[in-house]
Amino acid sequence: MTEPMSRRRLLGATAAAGAAALLAAGTAAAATTAAARATGPAARRAPAPDGVYAIGRPEEELLTLLEPRDSVVVLHPVGQPGDQEWQLRTLANGNVTLRNLRRNTYAGYEGDPRRGRFVVGTDRPVEWSLRQSAEPYTFHVVVPGGPVDGAELALDLSPLLIYPPRTALAELRPYDVRQAWRFHFHE
Protein backbone atom coordinates (compact mmCIF):
# COMPACT_ATOMS: atom_id res chain seq x y z
CA MET A 1 0.00 0.00 0.00
CA THR A 2 2.86 2.37 0.64
CA GLU A 3 4.35 1.85 -2.82
CA PRO A 4 1.22 2.89 -4.83
CA MET A 5 0.79 5.91 -2.56
CA SER A 6 4.34 7.12 -3.21
CA ARG A 7 3.79 6.77 -6.95
CA ARG A 8 0.66 8.91 -6.67
CA ARG A 9 2.54 11.50 -4.69
CA LEU A 10 5.40 11.42 -7.18
CA LEU A 11 2.99 11.89 -10.09
CA GLY A 12 1.22 14.68 -8.24
CA ALA A 13 4.48 16.44 -7.43
CA THR A 14 5.61 16.11 -11.07
CA ALA A 15 2.30 17.51 -12.31
CA ALA A 16 2.50 20.39 -9.86
CA ALA A 17 6.07 21.19 -10.93
CA GLY A 18 5.03 21.10 -14.59
CA ALA A 19 2.10 23.42 -13.96
CA ALA A 20 4.36 25.85 -12.09
CA ALA A 21 6.86 25.83 -14.95
CA LEU A 22 4.09 26.52 -17.49
CA LEU A 23 2.77 29.34 -15.36
CA ALA A 24 6.24 30.88 -15.06
CA ALA A 25 6.85 30.56 -18.82
CA GLY A 26 3.49 32.12 -19.57
CA THR A 27 4.21 35.02 -17.24
CA ALA A 28 7.63 35.59 -18.84
CA ALA A 29 6.11 35.48 -22.34
CA ALA A 30 3.40 37.95 -21.32
CA ALA A 31 6.03 40.30 -19.88
CA THR A 32 8.07 40.08 -23.09
CA THR A 33 4.99 40.80 -25.20
CA ALA A 34 4.03 43.73 -23.00
CA ALA A 35 7.56 45.14 -23.23
CA ALA A 36 7.51 44.83 -27.02
CA ARG A 37 4.15 46.63 -27.13
CA ALA A 38 5.46 49.36 -24.86
CA THR A 39 8.48 50.08 -27.06
CA GLY A 40 6.47 49.73 -30.28
CA PRO A 41 7.84 50.16 -33.81
CA ALA A 42 10.23 52.92 -32.76
CA ALA A 43 12.42 50.25 -31.18
CA ARG A 44 12.77 48.26 -34.42
CA ARG A 45 16.24 48.42 -35.88
CA ALA A 46 17.59 47.45 -39.25
CA PRO A 47 20.03 44.54 -39.19
CA ALA A 48 22.82 46.92 -40.28
CA PRO A 49 23.66 50.06 -38.30
CA ASP A 50 23.18 53.51 -39.81
CA GLY A 51 26.21 54.72 -41.72
CA VAL A 52 27.90 54.86 -45.11
CA TYR A 53 28.32 51.65 -47.11
CA ALA A 54 29.54 50.32 -50.42
CA ILE A 55 26.81 47.87 -51.42
CA GLY A 56 27.86 45.13 -53.77
CA ARG A 57 27.97 41.62 -55.06
CA PRO A 58 30.61 39.02 -54.16
CA GLU A 59 32.45 39.78 -57.44
CA GLU A 60 33.18 43.29 -56.05
CA GLU A 61 30.62 44.92 -58.31
CA LEU A 62 29.04 47.83 -56.46
CA LEU A 63 25.76 49.70 -56.66
CA THR A 64 26.64 52.88 -58.54
CA LEU A 65 24.74 56.06 -59.37
CA LEU A 66 26.46 58.00 -62.17
CA GLU A 67 23.79 60.70 -62.57
CA PRO A 68 21.28 62.01 -59.98
CA ARG A 69 18.09 60.55 -61.50
CA ASP A 70 19.59 57.84 -63.66
CA SER A 71 19.49 54.07 -63.27
CA VAL A 72 21.32 52.50 -60.36
CA VAL A 73 23.87 50.28 -62.08
CA VAL A 74 26.44 47.73 -60.95
CA LEU A 75 30.12 48.42 -61.66
CA HIS A 76 33.54 47.44 -60.34
CA PRO A 77 35.02 50.11 -58.04
CA VAL A 78 35.38 53.16 -60.33
CA GLY A 79 34.17 56.69 -60.79
CA GLN A 80 34.13 59.73 -58.61
CA PRO A 81 34.19 59.52 -54.81
CA GLY A 82 30.64 59.01 -53.56
CA ASP A 83 29.25 57.41 -56.75
CA GLN A 84 29.37 54.03 -55.00
CA GLU A 85 28.76 55.15 -51.42
CA TRP A 86 25.30 54.90 -49.88
CA GLN A 87 24.14 56.33 -46.58
CA LEU A 88 21.87 53.86 -44.80
CA ARG A 89 19.40 55.53 -42.45
CA THR A 90 16.97 53.52 -40.32
CA LEU A 91 13.40 54.80 -40.03
CA ALA A 92 11.19 54.48 -36.94
CA ASN A 93 9.39 51.46 -38.46
CA GLY A 94 12.65 49.53 -38.98
CA ASN A 95 12.83 50.10 -42.73
CA VAL A 96 15.77 51.97 -44.26
CA THR A 97 16.55 54.52 -46.93
CA LEU A 98 19.65 54.41 -49.14
CA ARG A 99 20.96 57.83 -50.20
CA ASN A 100 23.82 58.19 -52.68
CA LEU A 101 26.46 60.48 -51.17
CA ARG A 102 27.63 62.18 -54.35
CA ARG A 103 24.27 62.65 -56.08
CA ASN A 104 22.22 63.26 -52.90
CA THR A 105 19.38 61.14 -54.31
CA TYR A 106 17.86 57.90 -53.04
CA ALA A 107 17.83 54.39 -54.49
CA GLY A 108 14.19 53.89 -55.41
CA TYR A 109 11.73 53.51 -58.25
CA GLU A 110 9.19 55.71 -59.97
CA GLY A 111 5.51 54.89 -59.48
CA ASP A 112 4.21 51.75 -57.85
CA PRO A 113 6.57 48.83 -57.34
CA ARG A 114 6.28 46.01 -59.87
CA ARG A 115 8.45 43.29 -61.39
CA GLY A 116 10.96 44.66 -63.85
CA ARG A 117 10.71 48.28 -62.69
CA PHE A 118 14.18 49.86 -62.81
CA VAL A 119 15.82 51.06 -59.63
CA VAL A 120 16.84 54.69 -60.14
CA GLY A 121 17.93 57.75 -58.23
CA THR A 122 14.92 59.64 -56.83
CA ASP A 123 14.55 62.95 -55.00
CA ARG A 124 12.19 61.41 -52.44
CA PRO A 125 13.31 58.84 -49.87
CA VAL A 126 12.15 55.32 -50.74
CA GLU A 127 11.79 52.73 -47.99
CA TRP A 128 13.47 49.34 -48.17
CA SER A 129 13.46 46.41 -45.78
CA LEU A 130 16.73 44.56 -45.16
CA ARG A 131 16.49 40.79 -44.73
CA GLN A 132 19.50 38.84 -43.54
CA SER A 133 20.73 36.27 -46.04
CA ALA A 134 22.82 33.19 -45.32
CA GLU A 135 26.08 35.18 -45.55
CA PRO A 136 27.24 37.68 -42.89
CA TYR A 137 26.71 41.40 -43.69
CA THR A 138 24.66 40.35 -46.70
CA PHE A 139 21.01 41.30 -47.08
CA HIS A 140 18.11 41.05 -49.47
CA VAL A 141 16.93 44.61 -50.13
CA VAL A 142 13.15 44.17 -50.21
CA VAL A 143 10.21 46.42 -51.03
CA PRO A 144 8.30 46.59 -47.71
CA GLY A 145 4.57 46.10 -47.44
CA GLY A 146 4.09 42.53 -48.55
CA PRO A 147 3.43 40.85 -51.83
CA VAL A 148 2.93 42.78 -55.06
CA ASP A 149 1.08 40.75 -57.67
CA GLY A 150 1.50 37.68 -55.48
CA ALA A 151 5.23 38.01 -54.79
CA GLU A 152 7.57 40.05 -52.62
CA LEU A 153 9.93 42.23 -54.63
CA ALA A 154 13.63 42.80 -54.07
CA LEU A 155 16.47 44.80 -55.56
CA ASP A 156 18.20 42.63 -58.16
CA LEU A 157 20.03 42.80 -61.47
CA SER A 158 17.87 43.57 -64.47
CA PRO A 159 17.64 40.72 -66.98
CA LEU A 160 18.52 43.19 -69.78
CA LEU A 161 21.90 42.34 -71.28
CA ILE A 162 23.33 45.87 -71.46
CA TYR A 163 26.40 47.60 -70.08
CA PRO A 164 26.57 48.79 -67.41
CA PRO A 165 24.19 46.27 -65.84
CA ARG A 166 21.08 47.98 -64.47
CA THR A 167 19.17 47.08 -61.34
CA ALA A 168 15.46 46.37 -61.19
CA LEU A 169 12.80 44.94 -58.92
CA ALA A 170 12.49 41.17 -59.15
CA GLU A 171 10.66 38.45 -57.27
CA LEU A 172 12.35 37.83 -53.92
CA ARG A 173 14.29 34.57 -53.76
CA PRO A 174 15.10 34.45 -50.02
CA TYR A 175 17.37 31.39 -50.24
CA ASP A 176 19.36 32.69 -53.23
CA VAL A 177 22.49 34.43 -51.93
CA ARG A 178 23.20 35.65 -55.47
CA GLN A 179 20.24 38.03 -55.07
CA ALA A 180 21.55 39.41 -51.78
CA TRP A 181 23.81 42.44 -51.42
CA ARG A 182 26.91 42.69 -49.22
CA PHE A 183 27.14 45.88 -47.15
CA HIS A 184 30.77 47.08 -46.72
CA PHE A 185 30.86 49.68 -43.93
CA HIS A 186 32.90 52.86 -44.63
CA GLU A 187 34.16 54.92 -41.72
How much is the pLDDT for 60? Answer: 82
Which residues, including other chains, have CB under 8 Å from residue 125's CB and lie 6 or more apart?
Answer: 97, 99, 106, 108
In sequence order, the β-bridge partners of residue 86 are 53, 100
* Percent of the chain at pLDDT exceeding 70: 76
CA atoms of 149 and 166, how far apart (whole Å)? 22
Write the pLDDT tens digit of every residue in 45-100.
Answer: 778 999 999 999 877 899 999 999 999 999 999 878 899 999 999 999 999 999 99
Query: 36: pLDDT confidence band, cut at 50, 70 and 90?
Result: very low
pTM of this structure: 0.76
For the domain covering 51-186, report its CATH number: 2.80.10.50
